[in-house]
Amino acid sequence: MAQQVAVPKERYIPNGLKFAFGGLSGMAATCVVQPLDLIKTRMQLSGGGRTSFAVAGEIIAREGFFSLYAGLTAGLLRQATYTTTRLGIYTWMFDSYRERNAGAAPGFGTKTLLGVAAGSVGAFVGTPAEVALIRMTADGRLPMEQRRNYKNVLDALLRIVREEGVLKLWRGATPTVARAMVVNAAQLGTYSQAREMFVTYVPDGILLHFCASMVSGLVTTIASMPVDIIKTRIQNAAKGQSQIEVVTSLLKKEGVLSLWKGFLPYYARIGPHTVLTFIFLEQMNTAYFKYT
């Protein structure tokens, strides 16, 4: 009687590490692209038609080169909360689907739904850090007497609670969650799909991750910019100004096309950030399987 050979069970990364790898990959990417995030925020808050290069030059001239990294602590906390949650949940749900379906990967529609679910939860968790990030990156454009001058993200969060109340940490949570649903539906679903399409032509590795990420970043930018700009204006609004007033004023004074203001720095930020996040994430996953 022939001896049956056991088929080795496919290995999966423990759930705790999925969350940790997601957060660490996002934080590493943020250290690289933080200046682009700051330029993007300044352009979204500006009523003028200046280019991203003009805005960057003005920031450096007025505030110094290192001001391009203003709000870095808030950016890192945002990744530690938002990206840890969204990538961890997405990877967990993705692997759970494969386990229940004999190793078959979910289709594009299912990937999109997984991305929406993961992104909405992650966005709600990360909204306080998002509020601090928007305010810290926008501070330098204000007159000296109007600046909030937060020392770091912890100081920002504590002062918001003390001066405005704890619920203000979730100011703009609705557009933040809406943006995240759009971003993650486009980003996570498109990345997985593009990766499967490119793998036939590009060897698995950093080049494959780069190609899939750039496609994902472009789709994400086009789809998510309007919601992102509305979110930014709401979170930076003066105390007492309602969300409806912020949106109405934006559309009335600057027009519908202003919803795509800062497209270049937004894509220049989200493209490389997507690329670096997924490259770091894939490398961490590879290292785990190699050394454990």
Give pLDDT tens digits along the chain (292 positions).
444 444 444 567 787 888 888 889 889 989 988 888 888 888 877 766 677 788 889 889 988 998 899 889 999 999 899 888 888 888 889 888 988 888 888 887 888 888 889 889 999 999 999 999 989 988 888 888 888 889 999 999 999 999 999 999 998 888 888 888 887 777 767 887 888 889 888 887 778 878 887 888 888 888 888 888 888 788 777 666 777 887 888 888 888 777 777 777 777 777 777 778 878 888 888 888 888 7
Which residues 6+ apart lie within 8 Å of 58 measured at CB? 50
Instruction: Please tell me whether the overall predicted TM-score, pTM, comes out greater than 0.85 for this model.
Output: no
Which of these CATH numbers, 2.60.40.10, 1.50.40.10, 3.40.50.300, 1.10.260.40, describes 15-291?
1.50.40.10
